[in-house]
Chain A
Amino acid sequence: MALDLQMPVLVVDDYKTMIRIIRNLLKQLGFEDIDDAADGTEALEKMKQRRYGLVISDWNMEPMTGYELLKQVRADGSLSKTPFIMVTAESKTENVIAAKKAGVNNYIVKPFNAQTLKGKIEAVFSD
């Protein structure tokens, strides 16, 4: 799958400031079509209405966490192939392993920098 800067990207985080930071970083990287959601439930609704080329999601949100969102996305035939990057402060080994088992494409631990975000997005689309 090639990296297309025109593809819509969905940023999921319950912290507005983090959405704003990721939006700005994505814009700097050249992405133009950026949408956002405040938790997994809202993200899933948006994903059912629009096909996103990439989902960047936080883990710790209510009512639906990023981990639950990832599992639901992978279990849904029409969404299961969507590239999914977890961006989170959850940095325990069991979180990373659980995310990998659930089918995450990459995992970024907060705080992170623009270079890390760029590198992980490129890695997802070069696989």
Chain B
Amino acid sequence: MDTIERLDLMAKIKQENVAQIIDFLEQNKTRDGEVSLNDVMHLAEVMSGSMHDFLSTVQPAVTEELTAIAKEITRMKQEISALRANDMTGNKIPDAGRELDAIVEATENATNTIMEAAEEIMAADPSDSEAYQDLVSNKMIGIFEACTFQDITGQRISKVVETLRFIDERVTSFIEQLRIPASFEAEIEETDEERRKRELILHGPQHSGEGVSQNDIDALLGDSQADIDKLFD
């Protein structure tokens, strides 16, 4: 192919390229600036694909690079598809939230039932031993029944754990496939809520063996102020 033929081909391809890109932009212009990662990838595919013919005549090495980029884009699309982000945000996470709400409700109901039974036993008149025994027996059965919440909440917690595992597996795989180095992670800015928790020393309940025991607390409270001040030096 001589120089004139190359220039002819380039002009023809340019016209086709521009037409394809204009078509793409025309089709998407009514979307009020909402451009998804998928759209960007599609545009990149159109652009890189449309240049393929021209570049293959000019520079095979560049063609190889573009082919590799196109393959990478395809692979990323597959990874994004495997992430099932819409399923996560639309189904899995809201479902887990509903399960947790149901757990809170079930434990609260059970606690109230048990406490009501205990309060009625505490307030009962034991002078009539037969009536008192009947009342205690009935309330004890009520307490046992209320304790059945544990079985159901256990099953609900398993579903939430399953969801967390699903999200963990997919996000971990996605990060590995994208080969994102830890240094690329954005710095986390402290939110107002986090600042409040830090300033007011709000850690929440500790796991077994992590917090201090009542005995440790008693020992700390028994220390003199001077000993405690030393801990801050």
Contact = CB atoms under 8 A, between A and B. Distances in A.
Contacts of A93: 212, 216, 220, 231
Interface residues of B, number: 26
Interface in A43-71: 59-60, 65, 67-68
A107 to B, nearest CB: 5
Interface of A: 17, 20-21, 24, 27-28, 59-60, 65, 67-68, 89-98, 100-101, 106-110, 112, 116
Main secondary structure of the interface of B (DSSP, over half): helix
Contacts of B211: 91-92, 109
Given A92-B206, A97-B231, A17 B212 contact: no
Nearest to A89: B205
Interface of B: 108, 111-112, 115, 118-119, 122, 200-206, 211-214, 216-217, 220-221, 225, 228, 231-232
A108 B214 contact: yes
A94 B122 CA distance: 39
Nearest to B200: A65
B111 A90 contact: no
A89 B111 CA distance: 18
Nearest to B112: A17
